[in-house]
């Protein structure tokens, strides 16, 4: 399979995140020869989703990143006299402050068995046939340390530790952290959290280990064994059912590659309690928590928001004040004001003006009812499916895909100032007209003036929902307002197993906010409000109603959205920058960005139009196949485009 | 009216073994010598009867993403069956078939029906892979196996019939899509069905 890449393309796209993938699809669709590469072994970059073992490998890679220097043929000598090179970065610096906590027990009988994710022997989750399998992540190996972080957090509550004294536990940790970061620690030496407070809370006591684990408790080894049931997103987003991404998926017919679930509940966190927010008409009327008067107030206000622009007299006077102040002037109880502000407009006391708040509220209401009772959809198997769907569309129209393919440098023609080629990790020079590069591939030289924001993320595996109802298959979004003014609200998305992102009996919870500090510092207070660590519950019964944490991960991700092109040093005009994920809930930013860049690469071309009729595209086909009709019981022998092209998303299945 | 069941089938196998040709033969009963590496159609459909059901195969092609080992996990999602193709005149392609099977077991759904197609059986005078080897291997992994010729229309129908027979009957408990939404089609508008 020593297939060589062609040496000339129209467009080279580096990075397989969502914006890059959309652009690749759009360019390929409009006839450009596209090469799409990613240095990683999986699709999606920071938009990817991982199985549990895949995530552990990802964590490990971020730990090892600093140590690995890939041996590549020197590219410098390949640069001609009339050329200059822009070296690309070899390592990903977008992830920081990674901390992992395991609260779930091992099953004692499994302690010395080899536990591994069933079936998943491969290190990464992208599909490979040529790469040798690597060992599944050692279940006992949890210490993950970012190069910039001196703490290694790893808790193994089941195994008796050398001492339950927090001080000595810390010492062990320090030694471990200083010495053998890379080595998987075995169960015996596994270190405890660095934080004293954490340590005290989670240090296993002898009584704990003596107790028989109950049968219905999820253990760490179960999580590892069922690891492929997890599809853990690095970014946590939802699709607004009338947002740009849904529109694009439908328009381009890429929607056929994915399936979705509707978010079933909007939740609010108020006075220490989680409650459901009534947002649709049916919800409002069925709500038990609202009085009749409140129901009428809310309906009246929401109806006004739907068409607020037609009644300028009702809000013009309040344009200068914040949305929260404006809400106080309306006939709404504090309860309702809270719901509208935090859960429907999803803003804060200070962040939005009246107009912004009304706009956000209208947008929310506008999206209601298209697919269900809430405005949001979530892709089955995780957000990481979406870049892959666009990549498939690109490939279907001839785009060429290479994962694990690094680009060493961009080659710039001195005279024209334009980029003319890349040199890849094999030393091969590949010519192209346009180059789209995801931000994280640029070296420090290129980005020396760039100021990045950060996103704080937490990923939790829990054993029950934050708000229990009859159904255990709820998908919820919850906004927890900031406690201090100026801090940002925390967005919590809880996914159930039918989203195909976690194993049965567990929930996958994503927390996201704009970073003020490290991810753990930003998010742990909210985690503590909503959840209780697994080991505590047997002792403190009053806490039992909170979901128990089985496993937790914190990390910071760089937010390169909103960075102006001018901030990058010396970019040739035909090199375009794609940003990593932003902190927002929707995906509009990625779509807008992709469309804008596409218009620069292919001016006046339609952006991802629906595929042509099958007659035009079927393999070289002037063959009208009468035999097919005979041989098939139901003659429907056609490319599937037949049934969906034409009218955008409104055609119906021919028969069902 | 028989119930129609949509079954996603994904194709696997090395570049050039004839994956697209097999589908093209099956769906359009057509063979083209100069078939270009898979451009334009991202899946093809054909409906065949099976017992008291109709099986509507949605056959996904790799779209060339296997060429540089870059198939995306989404390719396997929800597949009822996989057709893994090798070229009987190329021992290498039989060797990598095993890697594809492993791949499938790691990333594909559980209970996926596997069918192995030894393509280009019209060229048996330059055969490198004995049928016996393929049979033994298929048996070891519980897969259907046939030798096919997309060119001469040999065993292609049989390949898919073999898959149909292996598809377990519809589980009444899993009937319905329990809230899964396909966009691009109108969302569950039961009332809009025509005639």
Q: Searching chain A, which residue's CA lies closest to the CA of residue B96?
A: A129
CB contact under 8 A, A395 and B48: no
User: In chain A, pLDDT over 70 holds for what percent of residues?
Assistant: 73
Q: Record the tokens describing residue A335, joined without a space.
A: 């309860």
Tell which wins on pLDDT, A600 or A108: A600
Average pLDDT rounded to a whole number, residues A374-399: 96
Q: What residues of chain B, 83 to 142, have a C-beta less than 8 Å from chain A?
A: 96, 99-100, 102-103, 105-107
Name the pLDDT band for A73 (thresholds 50, 70, 90). Answer: confident
Q: Is the Cβ–Cβ distance between A283 and A289 less than 8 Å?
A: no
In the numeric block, which tokens belong to residue A287? 């709500």
The single-letter DSSP state of residue A456 is E
Give chain B's mean pLDDT.
85
Distance from CA of B58 to the nearest CA of A (A): 8
Residue B183 to residue A255, Cβ atoms within 8 A? yes
| DSSP code string of A529-589 | HH-EEGGGTTT-GGGTTSPEEEEEEEEEEEE-TT--GGGSSS--TTEEEE----SSSSSHH
Residues 6+ apart with CB under 8 A from A595: A22, A26, A607
Q: Tell me which DSSP letter residue A339 carries.
A: I
Q: Which comes out higher in pLDDT, residue A115 or A636? A: A115
Does residue A120 carry a pLDDT above 50?
A: no
Residue in A390, A406, A522, A514 with CA at minimum distance from that of residue A452: A514
pLDDT tens per residue, range B50-109: 888 899 999 998 888 988 989 999 999 999 999 999 999 999 999 999 999 998 988 889
Look at B69 and A653 and tell me if their CB atoms are within 8 Å: no
Minimum distance, in Å, between the CA of residue B124 and any CA atom of chain A: 23
Helical segments of chain B, H only: 19-28, 91-107, 131-141, 156-166
Q: Among B29, B180, B187, select the one facing A627 at the smallest CB separation.
A: B29
Contact A262 B181 (CB under 8 A): yes
Determine the distance from the C-alpha atom of residue A216 to the mean position of all C-alpha atoms in its chain, rounded to a whole number.
30
Q: Assign A64 a pLDDT band (cuts: 50, 70, 90).
A: low
Is residue A69 scored above 70 in pLDDT?
Answer: no
pLDDT at residue A279 in the model: 80
Residue A244 has pLDDT above 60, yes or no: yes
Q: Is the pLDDT of residue A520 over 80?
A: yes
Evaluate if residue A186 carries a pLDDT over 90.
no
Cβ distance A375 to A368 under 8 Å?
Answer: yes
Identify the band that residue A647 occupies on the pLDDT scale cut at 50, 70 and 90: very low
User: Residues of A with CB below 8 A from B157's CB?
Assistant: 631
B176 touches chain A (CB under 8 A): no
Q: A3, B180: Cβ pair inside 8 Å?
A: no
Q: Which of A402, A611, A620 sits opposite B32 (nearest CB)?
A: A620
Q: If contacts are CB pairs under 8 Å, which of residues 25-44 in chain B contact chain A?
A: 27-30, 32, 34-36, 38-44
Q: How many CB pairs under 8 A join A and B?
A: 228
Of A460, A415, A448, A441, the residue nearest A550 (C-alpha): A460
* pLDDT tens-place string over residues A415-428: 999 999 999 999 99
Question: What ipTM describes this predicted complex?
Answer: 0.90
B72 contacts on A by Cβ (under 8 Å) = 43, 126-127, 388, 391-392
The label of the residue with tokens 């339950």 reads: A164
Alpha carbons A338 and B121: distance in angstroms, whole number:
70
Give B187's contacts in chain A (Cβ within 8 Å). Answer: 370-372
Q: Is A385 within 8 Å of B71 when comparing Cβ atoms?
A: no
pLDDT band at A169, cuts 50/70/90? very low
Q: What is the DSSP secondary structure assignment for residue B57, as one 8-state letter? A: E
Is the CB of residue B57 less than 8 Å away from at least one CB of chain A?
A: no
| Chain B residues whose beta carbon lies within 8 Å of the beta carbon of residue A652 | 185-186, 192-194
Using the beta-carbon criterion (under 8 Å), do B181 and A377 form an inter-chain contact? yes
pLDDT tens figures, A202-214 = 434 434 443 444 4
**Confidence at residue A553, expressed as pLDDT on a 0 to 100 scale:** 97
pLDDT score of B22 more than 80: yes
Alpha carbons B101 and A351: distance in angstroms, whole number: 53
Residue A266 near residue A238, CB atoms below 8 Å = no
Q: Give residue-wise pLDDT tens across range B149-183.
A: 999 999 999 999 999 999 988 766 655 567 888 88
pLDDT digits 0-9 by tens, A592-626: 999 999 999 999 999 999 886 544 444 444 444 33
| Across B103-131, average pLDDT | 92
d(CA A598, CA A588): 15
| Range from A105-109, A470-474, A624-628, B90-94 carrying the lowest mean pLDDT | A624-628
Instruction: Check residue A62 and give its pLDDT.
Output: 82
Nearest Cβ partner for A640 among B34, B43, B49 = B43
Is the model more confident about A1 or about A363? A363
pLDDT of A84 over the 80 cut: yes
Cα separation, A100 vs A115, in Å, equals: 19
pLDDT at A200 over 50: no
A581, A237 in Cβ contact below 8 A?
A: yes
Residue A84 phi/psi, 5-degree rounding, is -130, 160
Q: Which residues of A touch B34 (CB under 8 A)?
A: 620
Task: Evaluate if residue A179 carries a pLDDT over 50.
Answer: no
For residue B175, the distance in angstroms to the closest alpha carbon of chain A comes to 14
Which chain B residue has the Cα nearest residue A121?
B106
CB contact under 8 A, A617 and B67: no
Q: CB–CB of A402 and B68 under 8 A?
A: yes
CA distance to partner chain B, nearest, from residue A250 (Å): 5
Q: What pLDDT, on a 0 to 100 scale, did the predictor assign at position A118?
A: 58
B30 — pLDDT class (breaks 50, 70, 90) = confident
Contacts with B22 from chain A: Cβ below 8 Å: none
- What's the pLDDT at A163? 37
Per the listing, tokens 């039961």 go with: B190
Cβ-contact A439, A580 below 8 angstroms:
yes
- What interhelical angle do A588-601 and A244-252 show, nearest 10? 50
Share of chain B above pLDDT 90, in %: 56
Q: Quick check: B183 and A638 CB within 8 A? A: no
The dihedral formed by the CA atoms of A442, A447, A448 and A454, expressed in degrees to the nearest 10? -110
Inter-chain residue contact B106 with A120, CB threshold 8 Å: yes
User: How far is A153 from A177, CA to CA, in rounded Å?
Assistant: 9
Spatial distance between the Cα atoms of A38 and A497, rounded to a whole number of angstroms: 30
SS3 assignment, position A475 = coil
Q: Which helix (H) or strand (E) holds A273?
A: strand A273-276
- Mean predicted lDDT score pLDDT of chain A: 79
pLDDT bucket at A377, cuts 50 / 70 / 90: very high
| Residue A327 clears pLDDT 50, i.e. is over it | yes
CA distance B11 to A511: 38
- Give mean pLDDT, residues B176-194: 59
Q: Judge contact between A526 and A511, C-beta under 8 A.
A: yes
Cα–Cα distances in angstroms (integers) from residue A581 to residues A169, A235, A283, A479, A522, in the given order: 38, 7, 33, 20, 19
**Which is more confidently placed, A196 or A37?**
A37
Q: A153-167, A360-374, A441-455: which has the minimum mean pLDDT? A: A153-167
At residue A619, the pLDDT reads 47
CB contact under 8 A, A401 and B193: no
Which has the closest alpha carbon to A118: B80, B137, B108?
A: B108
Nearest to B70 among A401, A633, A640 (CB): A401
- For chain A, say whether B5 makes contact (Cβ under 8 Å): no
Beta-bridge partners for A239: A377
Q: What is the DSSP letter of A238?
A: -
Interface with B, mutate which of A14, A127, A402 (most B CBs under 10 A): A127
Q: Residue B39 pLDDT more than 70?
A: no
Per-residue pLDDT band for B16 (boundaries 50, 70, 90) equals confident
Q: Residue A128's closest chain B neighbor by CA?
A: B69
Task: Please tell me which residue, B47 or B173, carries the higher pLDDT value.
Answer: B47
Q: What is the pLDDT of residue B36?
A: 58
Dig out the tokens for A276 from the structure. 């459901």
Cα–chain center distance at B113: 9
> Is pLDDT at A636 greater than 80 in this prediction?
no
The better pLDDT of the pair A203, A450 is held by: A450
Q: Is the pLDDT score of A193 beyond 70?
A: no
User: Is the pLDDT reported for residue B118 higher than 90?
Assistant: yes
A640 → closest Cβ in B44, B54, B103: B44
For residue A105, how many C-alpha atoms fall within 13 Å in the half-sphere facing its CB? 25
User: What pLDDT, on the 0 to 100 scale, is given for residue A288?
Assistant: 85
Nearest residue of A to residue B47, measured between CA atoms: A634
Here the tokens at position A417 are 């100032």
Nearest C-alpha in A relative to B79: A257
Q: What is the pTM of this model?
A: 0.83
Residue A431: Cβ-neighbour burial (10 angstroms; 0-12, 13-18, 19+): middle
Q: Give the tens place of pLDDT for each residue, A429-439.
A: 999 999 999 99
Contact yes or no for A463/A520 (Cβ under 8 A): no
In this prediction, residue A286 carries a pLDDT of 86
Q: Which tens digits make up the pLDDT trace of A35-57? A: 999 999 999 999 999 999 999 99
């Amino acid at each position: 399979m020593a297939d060589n890449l062609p040496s000339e393309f129209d467009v080279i796209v580096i990075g397989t995140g969502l914006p890059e993938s959309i652009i690749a699809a759009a360019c390929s669709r409009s006839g450009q020869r596209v090469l799409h590469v990613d240095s990683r072994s999986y699709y999606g970059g920071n938009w990817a989703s991982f199985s549990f073992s895949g995530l552990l490998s990802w964590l490990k890679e971020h730990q090892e990143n600093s140590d690995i220097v890939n041996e590549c043929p020197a590219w410098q000598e390949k640069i001609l006299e009339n050329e200059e090179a822009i070296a690309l970065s070899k390592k990903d610096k977008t992830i920081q402050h990674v901390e992992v906590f395991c609260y779930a027990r091992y099953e004692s009988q499994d302690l010395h068995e080899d536990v591994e994710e069933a079936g998943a022997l491969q290190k990464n989750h992208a599909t490979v046939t040529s790469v040798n399998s690597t060992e599944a992540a050692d279940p006992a190996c949890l210490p993950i340390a970012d190069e910039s972080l001196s703490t290694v957090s790893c808790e193994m509550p089941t195994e008796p530790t050398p001492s339950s004294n927090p001080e000595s536990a810390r010492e062990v940790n320090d030694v471990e952290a200083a010495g053998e970061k890379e080595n998987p620690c075995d169960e015996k030496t596994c270190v405890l959290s660095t934080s004293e407070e954490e340590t005290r809370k989670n240090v296993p006591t002898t009584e704990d280990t003596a107790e028989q684990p109950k049968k219905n408790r999820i253990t760490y080894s179960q999580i590892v064994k069922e690891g492929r049931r997890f599809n853990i997103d690095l970014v946590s987003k939802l699709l607004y059912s009338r947002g740009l991404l849904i529109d694009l998926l439908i328009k381009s017919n890429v929607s056929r590659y994915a399936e979705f679930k509707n978010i079933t509940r909007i939740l609010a966190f108020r006075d220490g309690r989680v409650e459901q927010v009534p947002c649709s008409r049916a919800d409002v009327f069925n709500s038990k928590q609202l009085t009749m008067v409140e129901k009428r107030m809310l309906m009246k206000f929401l109806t006004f928001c739907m068409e607020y622009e037609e009644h300028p007299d009702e809000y013009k006077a309040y344009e200068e004040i914040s949305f929260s102040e404006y809400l106080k002037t309306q006939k709404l109880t504090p309860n309702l004001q809270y719901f509208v502000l935090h859960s429907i407009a999803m803003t804060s006391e200070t962040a939005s003006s009246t107009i912004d708040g009304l706009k956000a509220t209208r947008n929310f209401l506008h999206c209601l009812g298209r697919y269900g009772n809430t405005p949001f959809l979530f892709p089955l198997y995780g957000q990481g499916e979406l870049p892959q769907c666009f990549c498939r569309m690109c490939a279907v129209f001839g785009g060429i895909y290479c994962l694990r393919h690094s680009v060493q440098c961009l080659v710039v023609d001195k005279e024209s100032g334009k980029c003319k080629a890349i040199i890849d990790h094999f030393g091969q020079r590949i010519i192209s007209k346009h180059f789209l590069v995801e931000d994280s591939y640029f070296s420090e030289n290129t980005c020396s003036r760039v100021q990045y924001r950060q996103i704080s993320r937490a990923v939790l595996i829990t054993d029950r929902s934050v708000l229990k109802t009859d159904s255990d298959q709820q998908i919820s979004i919850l906004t927890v307002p900031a406690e201090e003014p100026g801090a940002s609200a925390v967005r919590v998305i809880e996914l159930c197993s039918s989203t195909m992102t976690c194993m049965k009996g567990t929930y996958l919870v994503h927390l996201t906010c704009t970073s003020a500090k490290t991810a753990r510092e930003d998010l742990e207070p909210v985690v503590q409000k909503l959840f209780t660590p697994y080991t505590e519950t047997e002792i403190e019964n009053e806490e039992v109603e909170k979901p128990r944490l089985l496993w937790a991960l914190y990390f910071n991700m760089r937010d390169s959205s909103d960075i102006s092109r001018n901030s990058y040093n010396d970019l040739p005009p035909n090199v375009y920058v794609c940003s990593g994920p932003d902190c927002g809930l929707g995906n509009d930013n990625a779509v807008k960005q992709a469309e804008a860049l596409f218009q620069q690469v292919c001016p006046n071309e339609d952006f991802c139009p629906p595929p042509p009729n099958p007659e035009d595209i079927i393999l070289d086909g002037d063959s009208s196949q009468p035999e097919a009709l005979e041989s098939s019981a139901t003659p429907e022998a056609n490319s599937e485009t037949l049934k969906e092209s034409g009218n955008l998303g409104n055609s119906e299945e021919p028969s069902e | 009216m028989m119930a129609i069941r949509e079954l996603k089938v994904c194709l696997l196998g090395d570049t050039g073994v004839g994956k697209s040709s097999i589908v093209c033969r099956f769906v359009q009963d057509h063979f083209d010598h100069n078939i270009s590496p898979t451009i334009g159609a991202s899946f093809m459909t054909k409906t065949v009867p099976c017992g008291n059901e109709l099986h509507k195969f949605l056959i996904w092609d790799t779209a060339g993403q296997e060429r540089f080992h870059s198939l995306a996990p989404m390719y396997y999602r929800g597949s009822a069956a996989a057709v893994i193709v090798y070229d009987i005149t190329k021992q290498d392609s039989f060797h990598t078939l095993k890697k594809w099977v492993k791949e499938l077991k790691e990333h594909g759904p559980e209970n996926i029906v596997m069918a192995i197609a030894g393509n280009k059986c019209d060229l048996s005078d330059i055969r490198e892979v004995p049928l016996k080897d393929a049979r033994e291997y298929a048996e070891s992994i519980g897969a259907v196996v046939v030798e096919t010729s997309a060119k001469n229309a040999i065993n292609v129908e049989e390949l898919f019939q073999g898959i149909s027979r292996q598809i377990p009957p519809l589980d009444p408990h899993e009937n319905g899509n329990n809230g899964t939404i396909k966009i691009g089609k109108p969302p569950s508008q039961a009332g809009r069905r025509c005639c």
